Amino acid sequence: MLHKFNVSALNDYSQQFAQKVCDDFFAHNSTASGQHILNLTTIPQVNLFVISSLYDKWKADAEAFKSPFFDFESSEVKEALKQFMNVVSRKISVKREQLEPVLVEATKDTLVLLIDPNSYFNEIFRNQPNFTVTADTVQQLRKYIRFNKFVPQSIAEAMSDRAFVYVNQAIEWSEQAITQRAAEADSIEQWATVFSEKVPLDASSLLKKTNRPEPIITSAEPEANQSFFDTLVVEPVAAPVKLPEPEPEPSRPAEVYVAPIPVYTPPVTSPVMPPTLHETVGGNGNAAKESLNERFRTEQASISSNYQKQPIASISQNIPLHQKFMFIHQLFGGSNSAYESAITELEQAPDFQTARGLITYKFASQHLWDMTGDTVGELLEIVKRRFGQ
């Protein structure tokens, strides 16, 4: 995630920034409420990452509250627990010793998201359980992300009505969005200036010029039966603004180079001598032999090619032993159980599209495959035969 950063410098800056913010805030306050945190800094993304961290802790506490000695699946208990947790969420009260380390991490995440969104989203998606990105996860990203927010919006649009996609697919969509909608990216220079109001920040060597800052976020007061975290509204997906095409510069006439016309001189040829009887007979014999060999090789290759394209009823039964060992060691890290599990899942796929999706998005992400490699290509060819492709 941080391969483009000087990690030591990033940590030092984040700690200095969080310390300065806490010094200023806790000079006049003993604790921070939810509304305080939403306006803790002039950088909305930092504030929202703090709230997001508190939300994760809030959910973890709710799970820890459950006891195996009571029926927490009862509808009455579920509703009471929900109401209790909502009331608690509206009474956020955080002291400095708890808030400052959370603020350090929020500052680091904000800087990574701002400067290198590809790394930020790749890390988020690769840490998802079961190598899948769910619609709920994307919805949470849309709620808590303000810098480069077009990325989770683009993924939400691409997912449409799907409940989940595999990690590689989500990463591919995020990278496409960052490339294709670069004009919508938040300005590193502008936000570095805002950071510098607290602690001087020099990010000139990593900057990419873009255009606009985000307004400071405010939150409505939660209703009586509502959680504080539900007051953060997911912004509707807006169509990207199409920038006007620049007018072409007037073209200047180019200097044309005219090559001189060469004088044609006919080549001197020696007279063709008729072949001898021995050459005629020998030549025809060699040609006939070569033609026969070539035909045999062509027919043999054709038979082999047709055999390799014939449909098969089982993937596992059509993988020779030497190829099986190759797949286990080169694709599944030497794990026979991982190989068997993957082959079984491919056998049970209803069609080729589903099987190809498993290879491209699930197994490739899980085992870090090189999709351009020959070994993956061989496995894919066998799967194609299983589905008559």
240 pLDDT tier (thresholds 50, 70, 90) = very low
Minimum mean pLDDT range among 16-20, 138-142, 191-195, 363-367 = 363-367
Higher pLDDT, residue 328 or 239: 328
Max CA separation in the chain (angstroms): 114
Tens-place pLDDT, residues 20-62: 999 999 999 999 998 999 999 999 999 999 999 998 887 777 7
Stated as kind and residue range, the H or E segment containing 303 is helix 277-308
pLDDT in tens, 260-274: 555 445 555 555 555
User: In 3-state terms, what secondary structure has residue 164?
Assistant: strand
Side chain identity, residue 283: G
The residues pairing with 237 across neighbouring beta strands, listed in sequence order, are: none
343 contact partners, CB below 8 Å, separation of at least 6: 315, 316, 319
Tell me: pLDDT of 209 over 70. no
Q: Is the Cβ–Cβ distance between 120 and 112 less than 8 Å? A: yes
- Identity of residue 214: E
CA angle 141, 145, 149 (to 5 degrees): 95
- Among residues of the chain, what percentage have pLDDT more than 90? 33
Please tell me the predicted confidence (pLDDT) of residue 293. Answer: 57
Q: What is the DSSP letter of 133?
A: E
Amino acid at the residue 186: D
Range in 156-160, 252-256, 374-378 the model is least confident about: 252-256
Enclosing H/E stretch for 345? helix 336-347
SS3 79: helix
- Amino acid at site 187: S
* Strand boundaries in 17-149, DSSP class E: 132-134
In the predicted model, is pLDDT for residue 235 greater than 90? no
Token couple for 23: 């010094």
Residue 118 CA to residue 155 CA, distance in Å, equals 13
C-alpha–C-alpha distance, residues 186 and 150, integer Å: 10
Position 279 pLDDT exceeds 90: no
49, 146, 152: which is closest to 104 by C-alpha?
49
| The token pair that represents 156 in the structure block | 């939400």
Short-list 229, 203, 194, 185, CA closest to 46: 194
What pLDDT is recorded for position 120? 93
Q: Among 139-153, 282-296, 338-352, where is mean pLDDT lowest?
A: 282-296
**Spatial CA neighbour of 47 closest among 2, 102, 90, 97:** 102
